[in-house]
Amino acid sequence: MSNQRENVEHESVNQEEQETATGATEGPAAEGGEDIQARLADLEELADRRRDQLLRAQAELENQRRRFERELEAAHKYAMERFAAELLTVCDSLEMGLEAARKTEDAGSIIEGTELTLKAFRKAFDKFGIEPVDPTGERFDPERHQAMTTQESTEHPPNTVLMTMQKGYLLQGRVLRPAMVIVSRAPEESPGGA
């Protein structure tokens, strides 16, 4: 489509230039000075039209670039607004639970309220593609896990996650926070054992 438009414009330019050139060469030789002046005026007019077209095209590109930047900024802002609105519900739940905990000594209702708040958090996370990572028992992956320490283990092969100290999180499949883990290592051989 773009090549067709360029070809049509190129043919139009060539046609205008040929008409201008043909007009300058026709007529008696005595009118040579006037023909040259007319041809020069036609060429200047053509140059002005081309300059105007170029300036308009540059302005259109600049406007389009600015429009894309505004749309991208709005998309980021809108995504954060939706996420923040989801977190407001969780915050409200935490505040109500804290207020209820101050007025009661019933641990069961406090636990129930906390579980409901955690459920609201998980629902918000699911909505935005945030998923927890608890790699206990899996092979250690330095891209997704952060080893806090190693521990000898005869029950697990080396480089196995023995315990997750803090869950990690993925955002749309990408690491948001690595899981903090304890990793197994092979037991050291005792010096007198061989």
Contacts of 93 (CB under 8 A, 6+ apart): 113, 116, 117, 120
CA angle (178 as vertex; 173, 181 as ends), nearest 5: 130
CA angle (78 as vertex; 77, 82 as ends), nearest 5: 120
Question: Residue 145 belongs to what H/E stretch?
Answer: strand 145-152
DSSP class of residue 30? G
Tell me the domains of the chain and their CATH numbers: 1-128 (3.90.20), 129-187 (2.30.22.10)
Average pLDDT by stretches of 10, the chain with 194 residues: 55 56 49 84 95 95 95 82 81 83 80 86 89 94 95 93 94 92 88 53
pLDDT at 34: 86
**Cβ atoms of 184 and 151 closer than 8 Å:** yes
pLDDT at 73: 87
pLDDT at 194: 47
Instruction: Give the separation between CA 89 and CA 62, rounded to whole angstroms.
Output: 42
Copy the structure tokens of residue 90: 């969780």
User: CB count, 10 Å around CB of 193?
Assistant: 6
Partner residues linked to 132 by β-bridges = 169
